[in-house]
Amino acid sequence: MLAGKSYLDELNDIQRDAVTTIDGPVLVIAGPGSGKTRVLTYRIAHIIEQGIPAYQILALTFTNKAAREMKERITKVVGSKGGHVWAGTFHSIFARILRYEAEKIGFSSNFTIYDTVDSKSLITTIVKEMGLDPKVYDVNGIRTRISSAKSNLISPKAYKENIQLLAQDRSSKRPFINKIYETYAMRCKRAGAMDFDDLLYQMFLLLHKNPDNVVDKYREKFRYVLVDEFQDTNFLQYSIIRKLVNYPKSPQNVCVVGDDAQSIYAFRGATIQNILDFQKHYPKLKTFKLEQNYRSTSFIVEAANEVISFNKKQIQKKIWSDQGDGQKIKILKAVTDAEEGKRVADMILEQKTRNHFNNKDFAILYRTNAQSRVFEEHLRKHNILYKIYGGQSFYQRKEIKDLLGYLKLAVNPNDEEALKRVINFPKRAIGDSSFSKIAKIANDNLTSNWEILKSIEKFGFPARLTNSVRGFVNLIKTFQRHLEKMDAYELASLAAKQSGVLEFYNRDKTVEGLNRANNLRELLDGIKDFVESDEEIEDVTITDKGLTSYLQNIALITDQDNDKDNDDRVALMSVHAAKGLEFESVFVAGMEDKLFPSQMALNSKDGLDEERRLFYVAITRAKQFLCLSFAFSRYRYGNIVNSSPSPFLGEISEKNLEHTMGVLPSRSTESTGSTGSRLGPPLQRRMKPRIPVSDFKASPISEIVVGKEVEHIRFGRGKVLAKEGPKGNEVATVVFDEAGEKRIMIKYAKLKVL
């Protein structure tokens, strides 16, 4: 514990004001690397130091990892009472409240939480049962549509009555989405399950439908509400916050911390308007801007300021750094994406040697996950260890979900997706055809599959199937009987053995089979660690080490919660995945028009602004070194595509760049290029032809050789300095009399020998 109030001495003036202003609505605009987490945690500690009980403080985050770190920091300041703060993700906090209050919204307290795989599986089943074309009613599109409806508080009934939504569905040739949504909601309710969106949607309904008892209870309980990464909240999350904070004579003790310039999750439903409009909703708001960057050197910070200045919808601020000028930003231009991968790997090897960096000090960021391949190849050639973020989660592996399926049924036997997964695994003579018949009987009787299974003898099935079903039902009932007597590890070990799952994977002696068996053991080890750990489960009143508590705990784990900080590997990830992280040296790859910014973003100003915020996030991950790379051609969808530099590169002034060699778009604040920004189009597009197109006849590629005088339709006269590359994709280095030196792919930018 820090003595007295010495924690305040660690803060700069603005940070201290934000920490000590605890009453009324507060907005903290936190630029990248500005000490946001410190301000948030010290603010909570300061509230406790003023005599407010820790359990009356609600702190909402977006990852469990952030919540844990927050509690650890608070505890260092105020001692063990810091552990009583209600700190957790929106989903984990609301899931806990919903378990307490489930009966008020027609659910049992042991409801299951469906993950993405479970949701997709149920939607796939419904589409199949309705006889719809799965290519038209693709599961991802339908799931996104349902998620969007819930995030905007549109119930299945309201959806069916919404003329605009129905018209959109008809125009996309998917007129039955409303029926799928209705059926999906009904089947979740029948299965005693909520998906991730339901944890927010049902929380709002709980508050909305119980204004006197429930709302008053939690308004009184949470006297102080704090929200981290507020720019990432959606309409529904903000609606719940306002339900808790806005009421007659409310002190409105709400503090939101975030950065509008880092709002990059519109595709998940996040809306930047929440933070932009916060002042309108709370006229007595006090705003604090954290503008000092403690992470990056000045060249990097200045470049970030320049880029984000092109967005009109923003809260004005100017971040600054006293970390020294540092290295200018390097622009790496490559002929192909393969060359880009090689040169980035070479630079990493060079920086490791020169600066004594570890692998984990580097990150390669890209706009799309498909770009990782070339970097993997060249990192492997240098024997540089790397990790790709955004891969399959441990808890999504088949063998893990198989065992978890049995555990979920022990808690909630009505869970349709868990039942469907394990009823015939390992095989017990209950095939897909038989299960489909059972499911149809359940649907016809508006009941769960489990209720039919329990009374299988009534439905005239063959004796073999009936006996198999009876054995399965007795197995699940055995697990249920031990639910209150055993802790999570004891029951999981019992289920792993008696279900046959562990034996099944132990019999498979292939490399894949051995890995799966090891993964199951790792799962059991993790459950044992959960049981034996002394760490409180977010709320001091919950000390339950049972299976229900464990399943809720893992259901709400995010990708970042699985990261191991001591893993010395180069990070390969999308820019979206990099938010909140920092590295000594960062490479932002694929800085090309229609890749970054993406082609889809060019259709709207808001889309382009979000892409620019994404670039801003990429830039500000770097502490010492930043390299922006692009290729003049790359493989996309199996074909070589000619590329031009991203217009975003032209928004960084020359003074912050190491060198550009005349290949970057021009910086402009007046003209509007093809991307819709205030930046002009690339130089190659702006130059007018020097000779009439009709009179220009390109020479064969074979005649373009070193030393020849040539002419280009736009760049004019020049001389070939070099020619390289595979046949058909040769690249010439030409120094033009006026346009300077350029490397151009001959088959696209044709040349005429003089």
63 within 8 A of 650, measured Cβ to Cβ: no
What pLDDT, on the 0 to 100 scale, is given for residue 259?
A: 94
| Cα–Cα distance for residue pair 474/498, rounded to 1 Å | 11
pLDDT of residue 748: 66
* pLDDT above 70 as % of the chain: 90
- Centre a 10 Å sphere on the Cβ of residue 174 and count the other Cβ atoms it contains: 19
Q: Which residue has the higher pLDDT, 1 or 157?
A: 157
- pLDDT tens figures, 710-744: 888 777 888 988 887 767 777 788 888 877 777 77
Q: What percent of the chain has pLDDT over 90?
A: 60
For tokens 């790997």, what's the residue? 345
DSSP state at residue 6: G
Q: How far apart are CA 726 and CA 338, in angstroms?
A: 12
pLDDT of 675 above 70: no
Strand residues in 337-385 grouped as ranges (E): 362-366
Average pLDDT rounded to a whole number, residues 1-15 = 76
- Compute φ and ψ for 500, nearest 5 degrees: 90, 0
Span 130-154, mean pLDDT? 93
Q: Out of 198, 229, 260, 538, which one is annotated catalytic?
A: 229
Q: Does residue 511 have a pLDDT over 80? A: no
Average pLDDT of the chain? 87
| 153-167, 458-472, 476-490, 593-607: least confidently modelled range | 593-607
- Is the confidence at residue 538, as pLDDT, over 50? no
pLDDT digits (tens, 9 = 90+) for 584-625: 999 999 999 999 998 888 777 788 999 999 999 999 999 999
- 421 catalytic? Reply is no
What average pLDDT does range 548-569 have in this prediction?
72
- pLDDT mean over 308-331: 92
Q: Which of 169, 197, 198, 228 is catalytic?
A: 228
Catalytic residue among 96, 421, 612, 621: 621
Catalytic residue status for 621: yes
Q: Which two tokens stand for residue 363?
A: 């990150």
- Please report the pLDDT score of residue 669 as a whole number: 36
Q: Which of 63, 262, 351, 371 is catalytic?
A: 262
3-class secondary structure, 592: strand
Question: What pLDDT, in 10s, does the model give residues 192-223?
Answer: 999 999 999 999 999 999 877 899 999 999 99
Concerning whether 229 is annotated as a catalytic residue, the answer is yes
pLDDT of residue 547 exceeding 70, the answer is yes
Long-range contacts of 241-247 (CB under 8 A, 24+ apart): 241/60, 242/281, 243/204, 243/207, 243/208, 243/215, 244/58, 244/207, 244/215, 244/218, 244/219, 247/215, 247/219
| Short-list 453, 458, 448, 455, CA closest to 428 | 453
Q: 20 an active-site residue?
A: no
Query: By the 8 A CB rule, do 635 and 603 touch?
Result: no
Choose the catalytic residue: 15, 16, 36, 73.
Answer: 36
Enumerate the β-bridge partners of residue 752. 711
Mean pLDDT of 625-643: 83
**Where do the DSSP E strands lie in 678-730?**
709-712, 716-724
Confidence of residue 367 (pLDDT cuts 50, 70, 90): very high
Measured between its terminal Cα atoms, the distance across the chain in Å is 80
The per-residue pLDDT for 2 is: 45
Catalytic residue among 17, 20, 21, 37, which?
A: 37
Residue 663, pLDDT > 60, answer no
pLDDT at 467 over 70: yes
**Catalytic residue list contains 37:** yes
Tell me how far apart the alpha carbons of residues 549 and 530 are, in angstroms, rounded to a whole number.
10
With a cut of 60, say whether residue 96 has pLDDT above it.
Answer: yes
Cα 289 to Cα 259, 320, 440, 612, distances in angstroms = 9, 12, 59, 21
The pLDDT value recorded for residue 139 is 92
